[in-house]
Structure 1
Amino acid sequence: MQLKKKLALAVVVASMSSQLYAYQVGEVNGTTFNIGGYFKAEGIFNDPDNDDQSFDGSARQSRINFEVDGEVQGHDVKGFVEADFYDDAFDSTDSSYAMRMRHGFIQVDNLTLGQTWTGQFFATAPFDVEMVDFWSTGIGSVAGSGAVVRPDLVLHYTTGGLRFSFQDPLYSDADVPDMVASYTHRTEAGHGFNIAVTGREVQTGLDDSEFGAAVSLASKFNFGSTSLSLSGYTGEGSNVSAGWGYNGAAAPVPNYEGRGEVDASGDLVSTTGFTAGVSHRFNESLRGNIRYGQVTADEVAPTVDDDTLQVTHVNLIYTYLPGLDFGVEWRDRNARTMPLRPAGQQVELMAMYKF
């Protein structure tokens, strides 16, 4: 039973990174050196609600990673670094794209330290369905901005199904780290459940702050070739990671007003979200996913048209060769999400080769 649980966790972690097809390029004194990543070409047809139709093509999501893994005095020690080509800018008119570090961390047994996924991401992403969309993955969950919220420093400690995360605070003058505590349970039948509690100090004024907390539940039910994903969360101080708040779409910008975590009076704004998705594997090569997510703020600014963000994804992904996928995805959102995702419909065609 323990072996099955460990194997399921390993598969989940591999699917969230690019290491599933990583190549071992060498071994020295028991230490292995691996290289992995993928090349992805994407073409997106945009049909915004309030603008002209357009087409965007890019290979910027392509990424490469390098891992060193070995045993040192009885401890499993790993170093991992990964980069893509988005840099800090999202200008699609210039084809000279610089690399940026997505991940850079050290792992010693159950302890992980560095720049990597947040505790919110680990509490929800393993239980979600597969999406082609790079910028709106997770919308409706407490980690809805997982693609853009990646603190400079994260510490994870895992023991059994428990994970404790201490994260570089998004509020630069916070007295304590942002924190996440979560518990995951998996069954032999392939079902999985997670409960998480988040807490962080939120800036409410120039020199004022309050502590906000949220609770999240996520689950995935396995029925052979079909699986069902469900999640929900509610709380305060989670707007920046959830991607929605008082000012609509939220992002980790330096000034607290842009995060939408407080209203015009400086009071914390609470948000509530849920997701529902179905995945089905038609055969060994073809799989499909349908997903709906929404998040609601209890108060929004007068300039925001709707207090609820709603996003729908439908996709088909075909494995043409081992490691080579082709996909098509239709998606619709009722409001702009971060970054560069206008309200309206999109159709994305993609080709991805993992190595």
Structure 2
Amino acid sequence: MSKPTYIRYAALLSTLSLSTLTTASVLDDTKVNFSGYLKADALISQYSDGTLGAGNLGRDFYIPSLTPVGGAEENTQFDAHIRQSRFRFTTNTALDSGEKLTGVLEFDFQTTVDGNERVSNSYTPRVRHAFIQYNNWLIGQTWSTFQDTSALPETLDFVGVTDGTIFVRQTMVRYSANGFAIALENPESTITPFGGGGRIVGDDNSMPDLAASYTMKQDWGYFKVAGLMRELSYVNKQSGADIDTSTNSYGINVSGKIMLGQDDIRFMLNSGKGLGRYSALNAVNGAVLDSNNELQTIDSTGISLAYRHQWNEQWRSNVTYSALDVDNDVSLTGASATQKTSSMRVNLLYSPSKELTFGGEYTSATRELENGQQGDMDRLQFSAMYSF
């Protein structure tokens, strides 16, 4: 080896050694934890008034707005997937000041468009959570402050009590202390065109959404109340349109859990003007355009109730009910708008160890339009999950 080449290799090795030492020094103060679960689902679905095509998200988990209405009954559909499987990286760093810095990055494979069932069933990972916590501050993407994940029951379905649940993940800045939390969160407006028949996603907001909550914890369980204030906005100056409109939206969400020995009851009640995408996986939009191209909010109310019974250390069951009721102005939204949805489910879960769970679940769901048309869904779901 020539001298210049030797010098270059020596310099490279020296750099790598220095980098390794620096990394090791950083990791000495940082602990990394890897967690998540692997979950396989098999679903057998029957619809009374239509069907869902291949690749439709409603075949992977329950989405209230996708229950078919007004079609012809078809054969039973069988689907199997691993989309709910997820992995999570959590870091905790001890700072020189004695404070702690936490980081979270979590992925799963739900709702991504890539992958098919023809050959490989390959699915693209998607980011669920990505945030840092420092003292009382959280910055990044996670569950909305307006939401309460602790009120969600243990179901094989991805959400469970979807019709009556606030369910949103987004980027925010949040401050929490003594049970109180307040946050500025990423805005987005979903709008129904005048007369109905579609959805406009208007990314025209000039202000972040404001959410705040208070949680009271007691020996019997907990109670949480949350409020939301936001702007719904839509601007369209293209193709001769002259639309520049906005309106205010607000809502309240009350939830909690009541312990009954080893059993518990979980509940949620939410109501507001223009909740839209925050409620029931955006089963209805936040506002509708009137004949003057002005936004009018759509009122909605959601409720969910779940009872969890522990048969013994290995067996347990959950019985749930959830519903969404929408107050549409039919002269603006049209008669094909969703008026209400509801679902109930019951399951039986078996865990031979805390890491492993097998289960079966039955779901019955209904969707009704303003014109009186109604569609039903019946589904059996079987799952196996390994948590780590």
Shorter-chain TM-score tier: 0.7 to 0.9
Partner of 1:7: none
Deviation at 1:92, TM superposition (A): 5.0
Task: Please tell me whether the aligned partners of residues 127 and 192 of structure 1 are also in contact (alpha carbons under 8 angstroms).
Answer: no
In structure 2, C-alpha distance between the alignment counterparts of 1:238 and 1:90, rounded to whole Å: 30
Deviation at 1:136, TM superposition (A): 5.0
Please list, as runs of the form range in 1=range in 2, the aligned pairs for 1:1-355 lying within 5 A after superposition: 28-51=27-50, 52=74, 53-72=76-95, 73-86=97-110, 88-89=112-113, 93=117, 95-121=121-147, 124-141=148-165, 143=166, 146=167, 149-151=168-170, 153-171=171-189, 172-189=203-220, 191-203=221-233, 206-243=243-280, 249-250=283-284, 259-262=285-288, 264-265=290-291, 266-299=295-328, 301-304=333-336, 307-335=339-367, 343-355=376-388
Q: Percent same amino acid at aligned positions?
A: 27
Q: Secondary structure at 1:175's aligned position in 2?
A: coil
**Cα distance change of structure 1 residues 90 and 173 upon mapping to structure 2, 3 Å threshold:** same
Task: Please tell me whether the aligned partners of residues 154 and 160 of structure 2 are also in contact (alpha carbons under 8 angstroms).
Answer: no
Task: Please tell me whether the aligned partners of residues 151 and 256 of structure 2 are also in contact (alpha carbons under 8 angstroms).
Answer: yes
User: Aligned Cα RMSD in Å?
Assistant: 2.4
Deviation at 1:306, TM superposition (A): 5.0
Deviation at 1:131, TM superposition (A): 1.7
* Deviates further, 318-327 or 204-213: 204-213
Larger radius of gyration: 2
Runs of 5+ consecutive residues of structure 1 not aligned to the other structure: 1-26, 251-258, 337-341
In structure 2, C-alpha distance between the alignment counterparts of 1:135 and 1:192, rounded to whole Å: 21
Letter in 1 for 2:107: A
Deviation at 1:134, TM superposition (A): 0.9
* Deviates further, 39-48 or 225-234: 225-234
In structure 2, C-alpha distance between the alignment counterparts of 1:68 and 1:88, rounded to whole Å: 26
In the superposition, the TM-score normalised over structure 1's length comes to 0.79
Deviation at 1:138, TM superposition (A): 3.9
Q: Secondary structure at 1:119's aligned position in 2?
A: coil
Letter in 1 for 2:142: T
Task: Please tell me whether the aligned partners of residues 273 and 294 of structure 1 are also in contact (alpha carbons under 8 angstroms).
Answer: yes
Letter in 2 for 1:228: I
Letter in 1 for 2:133: Q
CA deviations on 1:71-90 (whole Å, 9 max, x unpaired) are: 21222101110111236327
* Deviates further, 284-293 or 301-310: 301-310
In structure 1, C-alpha distance between the alignment counterparts of 2:45 and 2:89, rounded to whole Å: 34
Deviation at 1:48, TM superposition (A): 1.1
Deviation at 1:290, TM superposition (A): 0.7
**Cα distance change of structure 1 residues 90 and 242 upon mapping to structure 2, 3 Å threshold:** farther
Letter in 1 for 2:384: A
In structure 2, C-alpha distance between the alignment counterparts of 1:345 and 1:33, rounded to whole Å: 43
Task: Please tell me whether the aligned partners of residues 314 and 352 of structure 2 are also in contact (alpha carbons under 8 angstroms).
Answer: yes
Task: Please tell me whether the aligned partners of residues 161 and 322 of structure 2 are also in contact (alpha carbons under 8 angstroms).
Answer: no
Deviation at 1:111, TM superposition (A): 1.1
In structure 1, C-alpha distance between the alignment counterparts of 2:213 and 2:117, rounded to whole Å: 41
**Cα distance change of structure 1 residues 174 and 204 upon mapping to structure 2, 3 Å threshold:** closer
Task: Please tell me whether the aligned partners of residues 112 and 156 of structure 1 are also in contact (alpha carbons under 8 angstroms).
Answer: yes
Task: Please tell me whether the aligned partners of residues 41 and 352 of structure 1 are also in contact (alpha carbons under 8 angstroms).
Answer: yes
Partner of 1:21: none
In structure 2, C-alpha distance between the alignment counterparts of 1:31 and 1:332, rounded to whole Å: 47
Deviation at 1:264, TM superposition (A): 4.5
In the superposition, the TM-score normalised over structure 2's length comes to 0.73
CA deviations on 1:4-54 (whole Å, 9 max, x unpaired) are: xxxxxxxxxxxxxxxxxxxxxxx9424211111110000000111223210
In structure 2, C-alpha distance between the alignment counterparts of 1:334 and 1:294, rounded to whole Å: 9
In structure 2, C-alpha distance between the alignment counterparts of 1:306 and 1:166, rounded to whole Å: 30
In structure 1, C-alpha distance between the alignment counterparts of 2:143 and 2:49, rounded to whole Å: 34
Task: Please tell me whether the aligned partners of residues 200 and 237 of structure 1 are also in contact (alpha carbons under 8 angstroms).
Answer: no
Deviation at 1:230, TM superposition (A): 2.2
In structure 2, C-alpha distance between the alignment counterparts of 1:178 and 1:37, rounded to whole Å: 30
Deviation at 1:244, TM superposition (A): 6.9
Letter in 2 for 1:99: P
Task: Please tell me whether the aligned partners of residues 311 and 331 of structure 1 are also in contact (alpha carbons under 8 angstroms).
Answer: yes
In structure 1, C-alpha distance between the alignment counterparts of 2:354 and 2:257, rounded to whole Å: 26
Q: Secondary structure at 1:208's aligned position in 2?
A: strand
In structure 2, C-alpha distance between the alignment counterparts of 1:211 and 1:199, rounded to whole Å: 7
In structure 2, C-alpha distance between the alignment counterparts of 1:263 and 1:210, rounded to whole Å: 11
Letter in 2 for 1:101: V
In structure 1, C-alpha distance between the alignment counterparts of 2:145 and 2:376, rounded to whole Å: 29
Q: Secondary structure at 2:297's aligned position in 1?
A: coil
Letter in 1 for 2:134: V
In structure 2, C-alpha distance between the alignment counterparts of 1:267 and 1:165, rounded to whole Å: 25
